[in-house]
Amino acid sequence: MFVHEYQAKKLLKRFGFYFPDGEVAHSAGEARALIDRLSGDEWVVKAQILAGDRGRFGGIRKADSASDVEKETRNLLGSTLVTPQTGADGIKVNTVYIEQAVKIECELYLAILLDRYQRELVLLASQRGGTGIETALEDAPDTLHRLTLSVDEAPDEAVLLGLADKMGLSGELVNDYVDTCSNLHRAVNELDALSIELNPLAVVEDNRLATLDVKMEIDDNALFRHDEYSEIRERNRLHDRKFRAQSGFNYVQLEGNIGLLVGGAGLALATMDLLKLHQLEPANFLDLPPIATRQDVANACQTVLQGASVDALFVNAVGGGLTHCDTIAEGLITVHMQEKIRCPIVVRFAGTKREHGLTLLKNYRVPIEHAETMDEAIDILRRKNRR
Q: By CB under 6 A, name the binding residues for ligand ADP.
A: 20, 44, 46, 52-55, 60, 99, 101-102, 104, 107, 130-131, 199-200, 212-213
Binders of Mg ion among residues 277 to 306 (CB under 5 A) are none
The alpha-helical segments, DSSP class H, found in 63-127 are: 66-76
28 binds, among ligand ADP, Mg ion, none (CB under 5 to 8 A by kind): none
Residue pair 385/357 in contact by the 8 Å Cβ criterion: no
Residues noted as catalytic? 109, 197
- State the nearest-atom distance from the C-beta of 133 to Mg ion, in Å: 8
53 binds, among Mg ion, ligand ADP, none (CB under 5 to 8 A by kind): ligand ADP
Residue pair 159/181 in contact by the 8 Å Cβ criterion: no
Which amino acid type is present at position 284? N
- State the nearest-atom distance from the C-beta of 213 to Mg ion, in Å: 3
Eight-class DSSP state of 171: T
First to last CA, the chain: 33
Q: Which is nearer to ligand ADP, 101 or 159 (CB)?
A: 101
Q: Which is nearer to ligand ADP, 2 or 314 (CB)?
A: 2
Q: Which is nearer to ligand ADP, 102 or 232 (CB)?
A: 102
- State the nearest-atom distance from the C-beta of 77 to ligand ADP, in Å: 17
d(CA 294, CA 333): 9
Q: What is the DSSP string of 293-330?
A: -HHHHHHHHHHHHTSTT--EEEEEEEE-TT--HHHHHH
Q: Which is nearer to ligand ADP, 143 or 189 (CB)?
A: 143
> Residue from 48, 199, 299, 327 that binds Mg ion (CB under 5 A)?
199
Q: Which is nearer to Mg ion, 52 or 155 (CB)?
A: 52
Q: How many helices (H) and strands (E) does the chain have?
A: 12, 19
> Residue from 213, 240, 287, 326 that binds Mg ion (CB under 5 A)?
213
- State the nearest-atom distance from the C-beta of 214 to ligand ADP, in Å: 8
44 binds, among ligand ADP, Mg ion, none (CB under 5 to 8 A by kind): ligand ADP
Q: Which is nearer to Mg ion, 72 or 213 (CB)?
A: 213
130 binds, among ligand ADP, Mg ion, none (CB under 5 to 8 A by kind): ligand ADP
Q: Which is nearer to ligand ADP, 43 or 285 (CB)?
A: 43
Contact flag: residue 100 with Mg ion (CB under 5 A)? no
Task: Select from 8-16, 19-27, 196-204, 299-307 the region that touches Mg ion (CB under 5 A).
Answer: 196-204
Residue pair 317/300 in contact by the 8 Å Cβ criterion: no
d(CA 45, CA 96): 6
Is 340 exposed, middle or buried, given 0-12, 13-18 or 19+ CB atoms closer than 10 A? Answer: exposed
d(CA 11, CA 162): 28
Is 159 exposed, middle or buried, given 0-12, 13-18 or 19+ CB atoms closer than 10 A? Answer: middle
Residues paired with residue 91 on neighbouring β-strands, in sequence order: 81
d(CA 23, CA 231): 18
Give the burial string for 314-338 (b: 16+ CB within 10 Å, else e).
bbbbbbeeebbbbbbbbbbbbbbee
185 binds, among Mg ion, ligand ADP, none (CB under 5 to 8 A by kind): none
d(CA 217, CA 238): 18
- State the nearest-atom distance from the C-beta of 52 to Mg ion, in Å: 6
d(CA 387, CA 382): 9
Cβ-closest position to ligand ADP: 55
Residue pair 239/95 in contact by the 8 Å Cβ criterion: yes
Residue pair 52/109 in contact by the 8 Å Cβ criterion: no
- State the nearest-atom distance from the C-beta of 321 to ligand ADP, in Å: 36
Task: Select from 93-101, 195-203, 279-287, 290-298 the region that touches Mg ion (CB under 5 A).
Answer: 195-203
> Contact positions toward Mg ion, by CB under 5 A?
199, 213
